Each structure stands twice: as C-alpha cells, then as structure tokens.
C-alpha cells in the first residue's frame, strides 16, 4: 500500500538520484557464483563477484554445508551468548586463530558487524579513531558510531597519520585501515603504518576482507604478503564471504582482545549466530585455501593477463596487484554506458559510482577469480576494446 506522506517525503531524493545517474538497481541471479552466471535470464561471464578463489560453489564446501545442516539443522536459534554457539562455530574459530597465528579468533555474522562491534568496543568518548579516507564504509560508520574523535588521513599516507597522531591528546588511539582497498585494489603500506602507530601508542586494526585467502604464499592475507609480524597489527579482521566463498567474518588477536569483544561488542552480542552449517562449510573452504595454493597462482596469472591486456588498450588502471582491478572512467554516465555495452557483449562488470567512490572517479570494477579461464579474460579485454571504440565514435563531433 502506498503511503501518501511517507512516499511524498521519499520521492525527491529518488528522483534526484535517478537524474544524476546514481540510481542503484539489483540484478537477479539464477545460478551459483562462478565464471558464468545467469542474470535476469541471460548467460553472462561475470567479472564482479568477490569469489576470488572460486570456492563459493566448490563441491567440498557444498558437501560440508549439507553435512552441517544434516547434523545441526539450519538456524542457530540464538546469539552466541545465549545458546547459538555450536561446536562448528567453535572449531572454525580455533582453526582461524591457528591459521592466523593468533591466540584467539571470534566469528561475527557479517564483516560490517565485525567492524562496527570491534571499533565501538575498543574506543569511545575521549578516545581517537584514525582512518584512511578510502576505508570501507563499515569501518567509517564504525568510527562515527563509536563516539571517539574521528580523524581521517590521506590515502596510504603514513606521514599524514603521524601528524594526526602527534597532534592528538586522545586517551586511546585506534588506527584502522583496509588491507586491500575494496574499490581501488591497492594495499595499505602496513610496515610503515605499524611503525607510526606503535611510535604513538596507537593500536593498528587491519580489515583484510580482500586480502585474506588471496595474498601471501599461504593465503593468510596482507600481513603475510608484506612480512608484517602479528604483534605489529594487534587487531586483524577478515571476512568469509569473499575469497572463502561462504559468509560471515572474524576478528583475530590476543585473548584479552577477544574476551573484550565477547563482553562489549554489541553487534556480536545482540545478533543471531550464523547458521552452524555456514561455519562447517567455511572450515572446508579454509582447508582448500591451505591445501590448494594453485588457486592463488591461477588468480595471479589472470590478474597479470588482465593488466597487460588493459594497458595495451590504453585503459587507466589503478595501482593494484590484487584481484580488484578497476578501470577508471571518471564520468558516471559514461561508466554506466560502458557497463551496459559490455553486458550486450555477454560480460557482466559493475559500474561503481559516488558515493561509493569519490566524485569524478566512476569506474568499472573488474574482479578476477581463479575460476576464470584465460579465454574468458581475453574475451573481456576484447569486449572492452570494442565498447570503448563504439563510444569513441559515438562521442566524436
Ligand atoms: C565486504 C567488506 C566488508 C563487509 O563484509 P560483509 O561480510 O560483506 O558484511 C568489510 N570490509 C571490507 C573492506 C569489505 O570489502
């Protein structure tokens, strides 16, 4: 039922968003994630999921999910602190802690909630939170919600962070960054950030949503890849819905950190635990991450192939060696038009526009996966070349 007063109040912002080419629309998938997907009834080669290792539809992961549901049912029934903490959740936490080389790990239902709960449990009024300005929205929101004094520093600029910290009289100082920036694909300079944070009694937290599983020889993430010791980054967070192909997130760190989160992280305490079968499936993914290093090799080969090909086409790439390979377009309408031209040719790439990225920096966010074939990447490159060509001639006077 339409509601006159509510709908009238909401209308103008929707109209404005449409007029600015910023309107968002959902597409409906009728297939598992994978290199080929069925979207609104059409078969497309997808280059927009975060299933970087091709585990979201892996038979071992599905089997573990099924077995988990057979053993433990579907719903967890309650939050972890009431009666929803199952043996599968517990075993996964222990395996994640061991894999990350940390005392403990704590599962959250989503990455958004992990960030919200962790930041707000660690800092509040009288404290300082320092964030890279390109951090993921969940970290930025967490900082705002915490009530701590929120200071942003320039992207990947440890010197700017140092000036911020030096000028701060905050009681506690939490420095939070993405390990791999989600819309740019570049990595935080963790060695320098850790040095600066530690010199000013700041605690460094890394959100490794796009690094965990993909980076480092063992797939242990950005710290592993950059040779950063655990002690330099006392708070490590990563998500399970990307490279691990399932859902949820975790924070890993010391006994004191994890116990603090169990006691004080509101988004941990006041929400239903993930279905235990999701934890069971994630345990299978975590084994594949460790046993099948070839997935990272394949992924890195596709990344190199895409970058070489895109450079040859004269495209503007970003400073990224990760699976996130945005092609910078600039104008919102042009980015949308290119995405729709690619779709005509059978390739699904999403145009990312403000406010997700800064104004004037709309981009085609291409994401690669170990499950893409060389031929599929080559096909995307040639579709990109054709689409750019079409638009060049359309726009010529
Ligand atoms: C995806 C993402 C999150 C949120 O994780 P969800 O599990 O999807 O809620 C947090 N941080 C970063 C950097 C992300 O890319």
DSSP letters spanning 280-325: HHHHHHHHHHHH-THHHHHHHHHHHHHHHHHHHTT--B-S--SSEE
Q: Is the pLDDT of residue 146 over 50?
A: yes
CB neighbours of residue 314 within 10 Å: 8
Q: At which of 291, 320, 347 does a domain end?
A: 291
Q: Is residue 319 part of a domain?
A: yes
**125 lies in the same domain as 268:** yes
Q: Is residue 246 part of a domain?
A: yes
Query: Per the structure block, which two tokens stand in for 321?
Result: 């060696």
Tell the residue nearest (CA) to atom 14 of ligand 1: 209
pLDDT band for position 155 (50/70/90)?
A: very high
112 is in an annotated binding site: yes
CA 298 and chain centroid, separation: 20
Between 20 and 199, residue with greater pLDDT: 199
5 is in an annotated binding site: no
**391 lies in the same domain as 253:** no
pLDDT of res. 393: 54
Distance 360 CA to ligand 1 centre (A): 24
pLDDT of res. 291: 98
**162 lies in the same domain as 28:** no
Q: What is the position in ligand 1's atom list of the atom closest to the CA of 182? A: 15
Average pLDDT of span 370-385: 97
Structural domain span for residue 26: 20-49+293-395
**305 lies in the same domain as 316:** yes
Whether the CB-CB separation of 104 and 258 falls below 8 Å is answered with yes
- Tens digit of each residue's pLDDT (9 = 90 or more) over 98-124: 999 999 999 999 999 999 999 999 999
In whole angstroms, how far apart are CA 136 and each of 75, 83, 174, 351?
29, 32, 16, 17
**Cis link prior to 355 (omega < 30° from 0)?**
yes
- Of 58, 89, 210, 372, the catalytic one is 210
Distance 348 CA to ligand 1 centre (A): 21
**105 lies in the same domain as 159:** yes
pLDDT of res. 160: 98
**85 lies in the same domain as 127:** yes
Q: Is the pLDDT of residue 236 over 70?
A: yes
Give residues (CB < 6 A) around ligand 1. Answer: 110-112, 115, 136, 138, 178, 182, 207, 209-210, 239, 241, 249
Tell the residue nearest (CA) to atom 10 of ligand 1: 111
Pairing state between β 104-108 and 249-253: antiparallel
- Tens digit of each residue's pLDDT (9 = 90 or more) over 249-302: 999 999 999 999 999 999 999 999 999 999 999 999 999 999 999 999 999 999
- Of 49, 182, 320, 369, the catalytic one is 182
Q: Is residue 12 part of a domain?
A: no
Residue 364, beta-bridge partner list:
327, 351
Distance 387 CA to ligand 1 centre (A): 31
167 is in an annotated binding site: no
Distance, CA of 270 to CA of 258 (rounded, Å): 16
Q: At which of 262, 291, 320 does a domain end?
A: 291
Number of structural domains found in the chain: 2
Q: At which of 275, 291, 307 does a domain end?
A: 291
Tell the residue nearest (CA) to atom 7 of ligand 1: 111
pLDDT band for position 389 (50/70/90)?
A: confident
What whole-number percentage of the chain has pLDDT above 90? 95
CATH number of the domain enclosing 195: 3.40.640.10
- Tens digit of each residue's pLDDT (9 = 90 or more) over 321-368: 999 999 999 999 999 999 999 999 999 999 999 988 999 999 999 999
pLDDT of res. 25: 87
Distance 112 CA to ligand 1 centre (A): 6
What is the rounded average pLDDT for all residues in the chain? 96
**128 lies in the same domain as 72:** yes
pLDDT of res. 390: 85
**300 lies in the same domain as 383:** yes
pLDDT of res. 98: 98
Q: Is residue 256 part of a domain?
A: yes
**182 catalytic per annotation:** yes
Sheet holding 324-330, edge to edge: 324-330, 362-367, 350-352
**279 lies in the same domain as 232:** yes
**254 lies in the same domain as 383:** no
Q: Which residues contact 383 (CB under 8 A, 6 or more apart)?
A: 342, 345, 346, 347
């Amino acid at each position: 039922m339409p509601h006159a007063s509510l709908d009238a109040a909401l209308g103008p912002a929707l109209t404005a968003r449409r007029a600015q080419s910023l309107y968002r629309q959902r597409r409906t998938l009728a297939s598992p994630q994978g290199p080929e997907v069925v979207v609104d009834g059409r078969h497309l080669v997808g280059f927009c999921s975060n299933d970087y290792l091709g585990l979201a539809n892996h038979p071992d992961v599905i089997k573990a999910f099924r077995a988990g549901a057979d053993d433990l049912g579907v719903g967890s029934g309650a939050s972890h602190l009431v009666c929803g903490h199952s043996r599968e959740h517990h075993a996964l936490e222990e395996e994640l802690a061991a894999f990350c080389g940390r005392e403990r790990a704590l599962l959250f239902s989503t990455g958004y909630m992990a960030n919200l709960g962790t930041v707000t449990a660690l800092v509040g009024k009288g404290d300082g939170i320092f964030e890279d300005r390109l951090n993921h929205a969940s970290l930025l929101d967490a900082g705002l919600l915490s009530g701590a004094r929120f200071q942003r520093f320039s992207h990947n600029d440890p010197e700017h962070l140092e000036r911020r910290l030096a000028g701060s009289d905050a009681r506690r100082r939490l420095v939070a960054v993405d390990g791999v920036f989600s819309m740019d694909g570049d990595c935080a300079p963790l060695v320098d950030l850790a040095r600066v944070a530690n010199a000013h009694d700041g605690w460094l937290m890394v959100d490794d949503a796009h690094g965990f599983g993909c980076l480092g020889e063992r797939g242990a993430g950005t710290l592993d890849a950059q040779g950063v010791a655990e002690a330099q980054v006392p708070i490590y967070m990563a998500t399970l819905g990307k490279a691990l192909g399932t859902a949820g997130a975790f924070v890993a760190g010391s006994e004191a950190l994890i116990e603090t989160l169990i006691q004080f992280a509101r988004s941990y305490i006041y929400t239903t635990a993930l279905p235990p079968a999701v934890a069971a499936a994630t345990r299978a993914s975590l084994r594949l991450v460790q046993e099948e290093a070839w997935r990272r090799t394949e992924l890195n080969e596709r990344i190199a192939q895409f970058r070489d090909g895109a450079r040859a086409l004269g495209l503007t790439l970003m400073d990224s060696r990760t699976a996130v390979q945005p092609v910078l377009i600039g104008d919102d309408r042009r980015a949308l038009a290119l995405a729709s031209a690619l779709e005509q040719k059978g390739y699904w790439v999403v145009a990312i526009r403000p406010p997700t990225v800064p104004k004037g920096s709309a981009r085609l966010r291409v994401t690669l996966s170990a499950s893409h074939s060389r031929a599929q990447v080559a096909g995307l490159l040639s579709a990109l070349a054709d689409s750019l060509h079409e638009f060049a001639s359309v726009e010529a006077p």
